[in-house]
Structures are given as C-alpha cells and as structure tokens.
Amino acid sequence: MAMRQIKIGLCGAGNVGGAVLELLDVNASFYKEMFDTEFLVTDVVTKSGKLRGYKGKFHGNIHTDLETINKDDSIDVVIEVMGGIDDAYKVAKRALESKKDFITANKAMMSLYGDELFKLAEKNNVFIGFEASVAGGIPIIKSLSSRARIENISWFAGILNGTSNFILSKMESDGLEMQEGVKQAQELGFAEADPTLDLNGTDAAQKGKILSYLAFGSKLDSTIEIDIEGIDIVESIDFKFALELGYSIKPLSVGSYEKDRLILKSFPALIQKSSILSKVNEEMNAIEVFTKDSGSNLFYGPGAGPKPTASSILSDLFDIAQSNRVSYSKFDQDLTEVSNNSFNCQRYLRLEVNDSPGVMAKISSFIAEQNLSIESVIQKEDLAQNDLIPIVIVLDECNENELKDLLNNFSSEKDLFKKIVHLRIFNPSK
C-alpha cells in the first residue's frame, strides 16, 4: 500500500510559519514512520514573497496572492499563521468552501467568526484545527473539548498571555515599574514593539472566549461581551501590599457557568500565594479547570514562541492524518446571555488620600453606606509621597455593581481621594 501524502498550503512564513516548515523538514522521516503519511508543503503565500522565518531550502511554490492556495485542488490542508483578522477570515472561509481542512493559530479571528466557520466546516465535512490559538504549546483545546463531553465544567481560570505574566512576574521579583517590565519583555522577544493588546487584556480575553465556547457552549461571534481590564493599572507598590496580604498578582481570564449564568472576564487579580496559579511565572501559561466530578485540573506550559505554537499546529495536522476530527460546531449551546456584573469576589482597593484627620472614618462611612464590609486595612505613612498616604482596604465579597457604586462615591470626593486602584481577589474556594 502506497504511503499517503497530505499536501499543505501555508499562509504566512514569519516566525511561526518558519517553525512549521522547519519541524516538517527536520522530522520528516519520523513523521512518515509514525503516521504512515508524507506531509508536504507545496505552496506558501507571503505578502513579501519571501520566507522570512525559514532559512532552509524550500522546493515548493511561493505566492503573494492568498487566493492561489484555495484555487489549487491538489492542496488538502490550509494552515494560516499570518495574523490579522480580515484576510485570515477570507482564507479560512474559502478553504472550507473548497472542502479543504483548515488549521489556524489566530485567536482574534476565531473569537469573532468561530461559530460561522465551524458550521461551514460541518457542512463541507472538513476539519478546523485551532489548538495553537490558545496557550501556545499547551494542548488545552483538545483537553478541554474532551472533558466538556464527559463532565460539566463549573469554571476555568487561566494565565493566557505570556507577555503580561512576564511583566507582572518581573515587577514582583525585581521591583520593576510597568514600563521597565515592558522594556525587558521586548528585549527578550516576549513582547511586540506595540504591546497594547497584551497590556490592555484584549489578547487574553480573546483566548478566554474560545475556552468558554468549549467549556460552556457560549457563542464565538461578536454578540458575547467580555469584561476586560488590563494589567496597566498595576504599580510596583501594589506588589508590596499584596505580599503583606499573602498574595501574588497575575493576569487572569476567568469563565464560569452556573444556574444559566455565564461570566467571562479578563483582569489582573490577587491570587493567594498558596495557589498553584500564583507559582506560574514569567512567560509561562497555565489553565485551571474545575469540574464537580473531578475537582481542579491544571494545564501548564509555554504559552507562546514559534516552536511551541508550531507544535500545536502540527498536532492538528496529525489529527487530520489519523482521521481524528472533532466536530466543534456541536459545542455551540447558543449561550448569549452574559452576567458579568454578578461576578462576586473580595476586592483590593488602594487609595491615595490627603494626610488629614478623620480620613479613615470617612472611608469607613462610605463603605458602610454601601452595605459593604471591610476585612482588613493597611496604612503606610512611610510610603507617603507629596502628602498623600496610601491606604489599602480589602473588602469582603461583593459584586461588580456594588463595587461600581462605591467607586463612583469615592470619585465624587476629589478633595479626599487622589487615586483609586481596584483589583479583584480571585479565590474560588472561598
């Protein structure tokens, strides 16, 4: 029996695309033996017409027109690693309509068009692989989709952005300010020249949305609203207070579904030092998944980088070779109602106030008026700057609306409160 051949069209040949080409080249003999299949990249599309991320010899065709690959009936699988949304969506749609299997690392596109593309794939009896879209080298897509089919998932919490985790880790360990951490991340290649989507939480939120689809059946389109708060509100002083309280600060994406109530949020959070997630440092990613049947399970590994991402892409390719295809359209449960304001947790408030008598009494009065309770207070006169004293208050659990009302009242007293920083405290066991 002749060895099967799978012909591949690759869209994008930057760092990730180059890593895909390299792994397929270096490990070609091993893959042939393991899967009884020859994986052959016959065509590559790049805007420049050059293979920027690959230094080896390429014997296929190089194009600049994206349509070229989908028009070629000999190509079996299209792999998209070029980034962006609009062009990637066009490539994905045309590939599926042309009855080609499709693999992508594009979390932004999948978070907006996943529903449509899954339905199109099912209609044309082809496969969409998107393991590389979340958490790089961690096989979370397959793991979560398998678990969702046998257990009810209550919640997940993940460190899904390696750049923001690296920055916060360095701020904690080395006492850096945010911009210093960003600079280090850029120098080491963990952050782009423009790190906005990492710092403002958008990247992590897109990944959280994909996980929510698999875990709970929420929509993968523009109808799902995610509450997003970036790490750029965190300052080095917050780590000093967090340490005293027994916490680390981590960038979290959280999803939960209970009693027909979907919560989907991304935010910097205080996490107990005893928690497993608090020990995930620098560029590493981790996802904790909780089910009522088996409790907590942790998935940990490199969240980014060309080689880990390429490995996840190839795992989807190998699934195609083995006819191990999941129909992801079946995960859609049409959950569009999001109840983010019902999210309940303890709160960390750092207030910078004028050094004057009766300040604490006024703060306590504001909090009591909102029927909220104080768990602990830290006041640091020795950290005062420009006659402003930092006061940290840990509030007992309250929801987003209750907290919003309190902060609005604080903000109205501009003569008293010169700065207000709010961070959520994530402690699902409490």
> 382 with 279, same domain?
no
CB count within 10 Å of CB 325 equals 16
> 122 with 177, same domain?
no
> End of a domain among 129, 159, 191?
129
Q: Is the dihedral of CA 329, 309, 81, 313 positive or negative?
A: negative
| The predicted structure's pLDDT at residue 1 | 55
Count of residues in the chain: 430
User: The CATH number of the domain where 42 resides is what?
Assistant: 3.40.50.720
| The predicted structure's pLDDT at residue 260 | 79
Q: How far apart are CA 132 and CA 140, in angstroms?
A: 9
- 337 domain residue, yes or no: no
Q: Hunting for tokens 């995960």 — which residue is that?
A: 331
Catalytically active residues, by annotation:
207
- Three-state secondary-structure class, residue 181: helix
| The predicted structure's pLDDT at residue 406 | 94
DSSP 317-366: HHHHHTT----GGGG---B--B-GGG-EEEEEEEEEEES-TTHHHHHHHH
Q: How far apart are CA 96 and CA 119, in angstroms?
A: 10
Q: Is the dihedral of CA 280, 232, 265, 91 positive or negative?
A: negative
Tell me the mean pLDDT per 10 residues along the chain, length 430.
87 94 95 94 93 90 92 95 94 96 96 96 96 90 82 92 95 95 90 91 95 91 89 95 96 90 94 94 93 89 86 95 88 80 95 82 91 92 78 96 93 81 87
> 201 with 270, same domain?
yes
> End of a domain among 95, 129, 163?
129
| The predicted structure's pLDDT at residue 325 | 85
> 21 with 161, same domain?
no
Sheet of strand 101-104: strand arrangement: 61-63, 37-45, 4-11, 77-80, 101-104, 128-129
CB count within 10 Å of CB 21 equals 23
Instruction: Of 398, 292, 298, give the one whose Cα is nearest residue 341.
Output: 398
| The predicted structure's pLDDT at residue 429 | 65
- Three-state secondary-structure class, residue 121: helix
> 22 with 109, same domain?
yes
Residue range(s) defining the domain that contains residue 99 = 4-129
| The predicted structure's pLDDT at residue 201 | 95
| The predicted structure's pLDDT at residue 430 | 56
- 318 domain residue, yes or no: no
Helix (H) or strand (E) holding 115: helix 107-123
DSSP 225-243: --EE--GGG--HHHHHHHH
Q: Which two tokens stand for residue 163?
A: 């750049």
> 118 with 220, same domain?
no
User: The CATH number of the domain where 348 resides is what?
Assistant: 3.30.70.260
The domain total for the chain is 3
Strand partners, 297: 289
> 119 with 171, same domain?
no
Instruction: Of 137, 198, 140, 131, give the one whose Cα is nearest residue 167.
Output: 198
- 141 domain residue, yes or no: no
- 330 domain residue, yes or no: no
Q: How far apart are CA 313 and CA 306, in angstroms?
A: 10
> 157 with 251, same domain?
yes
> 83 with 121, same domain?
yes
226 Cβ contact list (under 8 Å, min separation 6): 205, 208, 209, 264, 265, 266, 338, 340
> 119 with 224, same domain?
no
| The predicted structure's pLDDT at residue 416 | 77
The pTM score is 0.92
Helix (H) or strand (E) holding 388: strand 388-399
